[in-house]
Amino acid sequence: MSGWQALFYKEILRFWKVSFQTVAAPVLTACLYMLIFGHVLEDRVKVYDQVSYTAFLVPGLVMMSVLQNAFANSSSSIIQSKIMGNLVFILLTPLSHRSWFVAYVGSSIVRGLAVGLGVLLVTSLVTTPSYVAPLWILAFGLLGAGMLGTLGLIAGLWAEKFDQMAAFQNFIIMPMTFLSGVFYSIHSLPAFWQGVSHLNPFFYMIDGFRYGFFGVSDVSPWISLGLVSATFAVVAGIALHLLRIGYKIRG
């Protein structure tokens, strides 16, 4: 087993040993969102023709769960290791900054997709969305989990205590997630807020992901794919640079 594989395996075990908290709990949270919003708004909101509001809600909740848990995985791992002082043991290994990146982001993708799949399986008991273009679902699922896993890595490197990490998640990640079209189509918003939504990269992740289920979206999936891929490339470049210079992890 190579170095990056060992670190990747260690990160998988880290969240899987407490899977009731890291996987089952987020699935339950997403299902509660669906039950509440679906029950209240099912007969009041019509988004796409021949698509019920509850069915429309499912892909958004799946993607929201993927994004939030991918971010939580890498960010919590780095900040816990820094505060507990055991990050030094990884620093002593001959792992390159690329190995760190692949292991931490890769494990975040696994956790994000595991939670997303769990949400999809449980919500299928209530409503079963169609799968018009499964390759789009896979592409945006992987890109979304990878981007948020990378953002979590950057946040974990930047933060020096849990309060800073909580601020990053509460004031950046959560608002961008909830204002990305999880619960609504942006065409239902006033013109100003539609413009603001188009500046949110999370919107393109969720809109492209939803296209894979229904074959319809608020913007072209190719535009979403291009913007998400470009954003991921920029964020990955920043993360790799921070790891290479040992930002806040080396004396």
CA 57/CA 66 separation, integer angstroms: 14
CA-angle at 68, arms to 67 and 71, nearest 5°: 85
Are the CB atoms for 197 and 187 separated by under 8 Å?
no
Q: Torsion over CA of 115, 120, 124 and 130, rounded to 10 degrees?
A: 180
Are the CB atoms for 112 and 23 separated by under 8 Å?
no
pLDDT of residue 13: 95
**Structure-token match 């931490």, residue found:** 104
DSSP states of 100-157: HHHHHHHHHHHHHHHHHHHHHHHHTTT-----S-HHHHHHHHHHHHHHHHHHHHHHHH
> Other CB atoms closer than 10 Å to residue 206's CB: what's the count?
27
pLDDT of residue 45: 66
pLDDT of residue 46: 67
Residue 151 exposed, middle or buried by CB count within 10 Å (0-12, 13-18, 19+): buried
Predicted model pTM: 0.93
pLDDT of residue 91: 84
CA 191/CA 51 separation, integer angstroms: 24
Q: For the chain, how big is the Rg over CA atoms in Å? A: 18
Q: How high is the mean pLDDT in each 10-residue block of the chain (251 residues)?
A: 86 94 94 82 69 86 95 94 87 89 97 96 84 94 97 94 90 87 81 84 94 90 96 97 90 55
> Other CB atoms closer than 10 Å to residue 128's CB: what's the count?
11
- Would you kindly state where each structural domain of the chain is located, as residue ranges? 3-245
Residues in the chain: 251
pLDDT of residue 126: 82
